[in-house]
Each structure stands twice: as structure tokens, then as C-alpha cells.
Amino acid sequence: MVCLMKRVFLILAITLSMLCLGQPGVDRGVTVEIATWQGGASGAASLSFDDGYAETYNTVIPILAEKNINATFNVISVKVGGVYGELGLADWGQWRKAAENGHEIGSHMATHVHVDEVSAAELAGELESSKTNIKKNIGSDVLSFVYPGGAYDRGSRDVVANFFLSARTSDDGYNPAVPADMYLLKSKTVAEYNLPHMTGWADEASENGLWLIENLHLVGGENPTGYGFYMSTDDFTDHIDYLDSQGLWIAPQGVVARYVVERENSVANLSFPVFRQDSFSITLSNNLDSSVFNVPLTLVVTLPRGWNAVRVSSRGETLPGRVSKGILYIDAVPNNGRIIVTKHGFISYLAGLVGF
């Protein structure tokens, strides 16, 4: 009897709300789109460290941890734990710990040979060896590659594309929201001579919605060998603070590359229930391999007027969402169930009481 009374009361309340809010099951001015960059950021930035120097590892890992930023470290797989040039390299235990903490370990070849100096078969062997060795030692797949010395040609680019999701060159520049070629990504090389220009890089990416990849090598307190591609600890810390202040999404190369692919291949659709005026749902889907492409996409949702507070859920679990000036931002993994957006209010409360 009590249950029946609750349902009658709910139906009356919903009927009243329908009279006030308009016809059910129709578009109420709600729109949804996928943000160009995660979090609705102004642009993207990736910190990409080449060679795997121990000094760099010991310097930047604690700084990045403090800032809650993850980066890409590109290792020369057969030299890990040894010496490259005059500088010592971090070992597999260190790289495994870095990967466990969210950093990406990319490939910088097995031996650092330039890709345009070997045959296609030799190159394939180098790439396969590098991928296998890294995966065996860190326990996760290798998605990103960096051309040693920045050298490449069309043939080597095509071989690289058979092994990785993206590849970074040393060609100077930025990458648009949809890169012209995911295997010829441009970057800005960090060296002592261009430190004064680095704030301008961040400004350019933020103001124009670009993807900035910074190509770094040695970072530390001292540079006893006079290595040209060096950045001091203080300069690095200051630069990270500046990057973080520009509204950029800072993430590893492999994460940003996957976001781009997912964004360009996903569809977000709205659905409005017939008997509820205080909720709607979103489906976010694509046909990609979900074991690889599982980076959350940011949905930008225009809410009906007056929806100042909402609850976002999927599969019975609450999802994080934030509302700013009538816009709802939701981070969601594609193909992971229907997303339900419900207005906080009296009718929603009653519906929840009786499981409507």
C-alpha cells in the first residue's frame, strides 16, 4: 500500500513537472561534443626525454611526481643500465617503477642506429627487438617511437608505422589537433641556446589549440661533459610551472596520440526519456580496439537552463563531472556503457526513492 502511494505521488509530481517543462522525449536545448583536448584544455603538451640518462631520471621523476605530471621516456633498449656517450643510463628497475607510476616508456631503437641507414629488414628487426625487450622488462606494450638523430625517410617511416601508434621526429614545429601524419610528429628541441624561447612555445600551443611535444635529453644540476642538449634542474622546474599555468593538458605522447585517434573515430549521441524531464543519457562509442584505445574523452555538454547541479552516472557508478557556466564536462571511456545525466532536484529525489 505504501509503495503504491509513493508511485501515485511520483506520477502526479512528474505530470506537474511535464506541464511546467514542456513535452517529454524531445530535445531541450541539450548539445554534446567531444573536446579537442582532454579536460577542455586550451592545447596539449608532451614531455619527451630521449636516451634514458640516469641523471635525467633522478632529477625529473621527483619533480614530475610533485606536479602530478606524466612524461614519455624513450630508451635505447640494448644500452639500458649502461653508458651512452659519456653519460650513464638508468636501469630497467628504474624504468619499471616509472611505468608503474604512469610514465610512458617509448622506443628509441635497440641500438640508436639511424633508421635511414639500414635496410627495411634490419630496421624491422631493430624495432621488434626494442619493443620486445621493453615490454619484457616493464610489463606493458610500447606505443611510441622516436627517430634517433631525427633521421628518417619515407620507407623507414612506413616500417615504423607497422610497430607503433605514433612516432616523433626532430622536425621543428607544433602538431595541429589532427596531425598530418601520426608517424612524423613535430617537436621543439630543448637545448641551452633556446631556453629563452620556451615560454613562447607554451604560449603558441595554448593560444592556437596545438599539440606541443618538447624533445629533451639531459636534465640535472650539473653538466660536466658540456653536453649540448642540457637543461638545468632550476630551468626545468620553472618551465614545468609555466607549462602548467597555461591551461595545457600535459600527458605522454602515447596518451595524447590515443586521445586524438579516439576523438576522431568516436560518436556521442543524446537520448531523452519519454517519462522523465529531469534527465538524459549519452552514448559514446567507436569501433576501435578497446584494449588499446581506452583514454577517457572529455564530453562538453550544454545543459538546459537552470540545471546548475547534476549527477552523472554509468552502470550504477557515479562519474566525475563539473559544471561551469551552464556547461558540463565529463571524462568518459568510449564503449563503456550509457552515461546518465540527472538534474538535482525534488523530482529526481522522488524517482530515486521508488527506483523509477
pLDDT at 19: 39
Tell me, yes or no, whether 234 and 327 share the same domain. no
In which residue are the cell numbers 621523476 written?
Answer: 61
In which residue are the cell numbers 620507407 written?
Answer: 155
What pLDDT digit, counting tens, does each position of 89-133 carry?
999 999 999 999 999 999 999 999 999 999 999 999 999 999 999
pLDDT at 274: 78
pLDDT at 221: 93
Report, as ranges of residue numbers, the positions in the chain whose pLDDT lies below 50. Answer: 2, 8-26, 346, 348-356
Tell me, yes or no, whether 253 and 217 share the same domain. yes
pLDDT at 79: 97
Interior angle at CA 236, CA 137 and CA 228, nearest 5: 80
- Measured CA to CA, the distance from residue 277 to residue 356 in angstroms comes to 13
Tell me, yes or no, whether 52 and 155 share the same domain. yes
Report in angstroms the alpha-carbon separations of 328 from 40, 139, 352.
11, 37, 22
pLDDT at 103: 98
Tell me, yes or no, whether 68 and 191 share the same domain. yes
- Measured CA to CA, the distance from residue 173 to residue 137 in angstroms comes to 33
> Could you tell me if 309 and 276 are in contact, meaning their C-beta atoms sit under 8 angstroms apart?
no
In which residue are the cell numbers 606493458 written?
Answer: 140
Domain region containing 349: 2-30+272-354
Q: Give the chain's length.
A: 356
Q: Domain end: 259, 282, 315, which one?
A: 259
pLDDT at 196: 87
Asked if the structure places residue 72 within a domain, the reply is yes
Total domains in the fold of the chain: 2
| Cross-sheet strand order for the sheet of 317-318 | 267-271, 279-285, 339-343, 310-314, 317-318
Asked if the structure places residue 344 within a domain, the reply is yes
Tell me, yes or no, whether 300 and 156 share the same domain. no
Tell me, yes or no, whether 236 and 283 share the same domain. no
Tell me, yes or no, whether 344 and 293 share the same domain. yes
Tell me, yes or no, whether 60 and 201 share the same domain. yes
Q: How far is CA 252 from the centre of its chain?
A: 7
Tell me, yes or no, whether 250 and 330 share the same domain. no
pLDDT at 138: 96
Asked if the structure places residue 226 within a domain, the reply is yes
pLDDT at 29: 86
Tell me, yes or no, whether 324 and 242 share the same domain. no
The pTM assigned to this predicted structure is: 0.90
pLDDT at 28: 66
Asked if the structure places residue 35 within a domain, the reply is no
Q: What is the CATH number of the domain that holds 85?
A: 3.20.20.370
